Structure 1
Amino acid sequence: MSVSSSRWLRVFLSLTLLAASQAVFVRGSLADDPPVKPLKALLVLGGCCHDYEAQKDILSKGISDRAHVEVTIAYDPDKTTKHLNPIYENPDWAKGYDVIIHDECTADVKDVAIIERILEPHRNGLPGVVLHCAMHSFRSEGFPGVTPWFQFTGLQTTGHGPQTPIDISFVDPESPITRGLSNWTTTNEELYNNSAGKLLDSATALARGHQVTKNKQGMEVTADNVLIWTNNYEGKAKIFGTTLGHNNVTVSDPKYLDLVTRGLLWSCGKLNDTYLKTPETK
C-alpha cells in the first residue's frame, strides 16, 4: 500500500470513528431525556372527616406512578369544615398548574368572594378533578339549590347514607376514561345522593352506584345514584368528578387510582399512551 493510500485510510477510519461516537452520544442523550414533559397538578385537600394526612400521599404517589404527572400537595391539617386552605389566600393560587385536584371537605367556607377566587381559573379554562367531599364543600347562599360550586362540579348533592359496599356499574363504556375499566364493588363507602335526581345539563354520567342499607327501623333501603361523571364547565374547562373516596382502602384501590388518573389526563386532553405509564416504565 502506498503512503498516500495509507494516509487516506487513516483519515477515513478517523472520520468513521468520529461519526460513530457522535451517533452514540446522540442516542444516549435521547435515551436520557424524559419521554414527555410532565403535567403539573395541584392537590388541594384537608378539612373535616377524612384521613387526608394519609390520602395526600396515596393519591400523589398513585397518580405519578401511573402517568407523567408531578403532584404538588397543598394540605391543610385543620379538621373543621370552616377553615380555608391557605393556598387560596393567594389571588394567583393556581398559577403554573395544568390541573387542580379538589379533595377538600369545607362545607362551611361560604364567602362568595373566596369561592369566586377559587372558581376563576376554572372559568378561564383550567381543568379540574373533584373527589368525594369536594362535592359537599363551599355551600354558599342558595344551598341546597344550584350554587356556583355545584355549577363547577356538575353534580347537585346534599348528603350521603351510611357506609356499606357500593356496586359500581359503568354506563358509558365507550368513554375514553372508562374504556377498559370493569365494574366493581367497593368496601364500605358513602354513596352521595343526587338531590336533583340527575346531573346538571352540562354534565355526563360515566357510572352509577347501587347501595343497600338499613333504616332506623331495620328495613332495607336501596339507593342508586350517579357517582362518576364529567362536566363541561362554562364551556371552557373539562372537569372529572367522583363521589368515591371516603376511606383509605378505597383511595388505595388500584381500580380507584386508575380511574382518577385517567380522569385527570382526560381533563387535560392528555389521555394517551404518551402520558400514561406502562408497567414497564413506571
Structure 2
Amino acid sequence: MLSIGNAYGQCNACDVMPCPGNELVDVWDWDAVPLSESNRFSSNRIRDMFVNSVYVDDNLPITNDVIAFTLEYNTLNVDGSALVTASGTVLVPIGYPCAASPASSNCNLPWALYYKGTNVSGSTPSWAGEIPDGSGGTTMSVSGWDGFNFTFALALAANGYITVVPDYLGFGRNSLSGYHPYLHNDSEAQAGIDLLYAANEFLRRSPSEVLTNPTDTSGGYSICLPDTGQQSELFVYGHSQGGQSTMSFIKKTASCSNFPFEVKASATVSGAMDAYFNS
C-alpha cells in the first residue's frame, strides 16, 4: 500500500475551492488496487477486447501494452471544508524505452483525463465488467456503462496516453458512498485535479511496483515522466455529465498556479448544459 496526501493552498482566482498545491503532506490512506487478478493488458488482449466491443472501432491502432490500477486518494468534499476519500482509474502505457534523461522529448508521455458520463447504476470505470483471464481463449463482456467508460479509457492508454478516470464523489471506493452531488461543478473538477496529482505521485514513487514486466529480465520498464518542475501535456475529454465536468476542470485550472500539467486541448461531447430543459 502506498499513501500520500495533497497540501491545499490558495492560488489565483479558483472560484469556491482552493487549488491543490504540489507539496505532499503526511500520510493518507490511498490504496493502489489492481482492477483484476491480472491488471496488465497486452496489445493482443486489448485488440481482442476492441473486436468484441461495440464502443470502440476495432481498427483503432494499438501501440503499446497497458497496466491498470484503481487509486484511492484524497479530495475535497462538496463545500470544500474537509478532505474525503475518492477513487479513480489510472491506465499506464508500458513498453516505451526511455532515454537516460527523463526529460527527453521521447520520454515525456502525454496524459489524458477522461470524465465519464451520467450513471444511475452505481457502477464505475474503476471496477469495469468482466476482465479476460489472459489465457487467450476468452473475450471481454463490456455490458453496462462502466464497460463503455473503461474500454474508451483503455483505447486512449493503448495509444500512448497515461489515462486517468475519476469515479466522482459518491461512486467507487468513496467516503461519501451513496451520495453523489450530480452536476456539481467544483467537486467534479476537483476530483479530476486530485486524481492527476495522486496518479503522478504514484508513478514517481513506485516505478518498480507499477511497471514491473515479468517477461523482462532487465527489471521492468522505465516511467516516461518529465523532471520534477516540468509540465506534462494533458488532454481532457468528457461525455454527457463528463462534458460539463470537463468545462468545470478547464475553468478551475485556468488560473491555478504551479499546476504540473499543461492543458493542450479539451473536448466536450453531449454535455449536460441545460438540466431544466429551458431551450
User: Which protein shows a greater Rg?
Assistant: 1
TM-score higher than 0.5: no
Q: TM-score by structure 1 length? A: 0.23
Q: TM-score by structure 2 length? A: 0.23
Identify, as 1 or 2, the structure richer in helix.
Answer: 1
